[in-house]
Amino acid sequence: MIKFDYLHLVLYSSSMTKKSKPSNRDIVIRIATGLFLEKGYPMTSMDEIVAASKVSKTNIYYHFKSKEELLSAIVTQMIDRYEQVIAEIAGQSQLAVAERLRRFASLLADQGPDSLGGCPFLTLYVQTNRESRFVREEISHFFHNQIATIERLLHEGIARGEFSSELPVSQIAVMIVSMIEGGLFLQHTQQDETLLPRVLHALAFLLK
């Protein structure tokens, strides 16, 4: 298992250096991320973010012109950080591909705030509508890249003799990302943290 502490550090730490105080912008992003994921994006007002962050309304609006712009900044930052960790996991060629896939899934499972839909990206996508085009497109692109990364890993696994060369790679790649996203969602509905691990166990059984 990837240590949560490490992930938390990479995913939720701000860009500040260790000694300096977090900037107001960092504080607002951290507080708003929690509210958007745990309470819901449309159900959170800028006034609540002001109250919870203790940053003045004027200062918040100096950094973000609207709630939508704040959401965009959050999604862009979340994606940057996840993509960095995903690239790191995918590149660890000293590890078996199966192990890298497991870590990839754990990464998406080990999340900070308790998102309403299990996965933070799924939650923010479903909580926005066609009016939040930029956010939905960014999340769409993030999943597109995830599928491509899994495809590359599966090809590597076949080349290394870990998987059968008959594997329909592109189909298995979308299946893996689907089962992780669906598993995170179902796990949330069932309030059962063993659900995603069971899904991954079934996958490992079938890939043998």
Binding site for a copy of itself (CB under 8 A): 38-40, 42-43, 116-117, 122-123, 125-129, 136, 139-140, 143-144, 147, 167-168, 170-172, 174-175, 177-183, 185-186, 189-191, 195-196, 198-199, 201-203, 205-207
Closer to a copy of itself at the Cβ: 53 or 128? 128
Q: How far is the CB of 7 from a copy of itself (least distance, A)?
A: 21
**Tokens standing for 32?**
């708003």
d(CA 83, CA 64) in angstroms, rounded, equals 24
Q: How far is the CB of 177 from a copy of itself (least distance, A)?
A: 6
Closer to a copy of itself at the Cβ: 7 or 195? 195
CA 126 to chain CA centroid, Å, is: 14
Closer to a copy of itself at the Cβ: 5 or 47? 47
Q: How many CB atoms lie within 10 A of CB 97?
A: 23
3-state secondary structure of 172: helix
CA 152 to chain CA centroid, Å, is: 20
CA 75 to chain CA centroid, Å, is: 9
Closer to a copy of itself at the Cβ: 22 or 113? 113
Nearest-10 crossing angle of helices 24-38, 120-127? 80
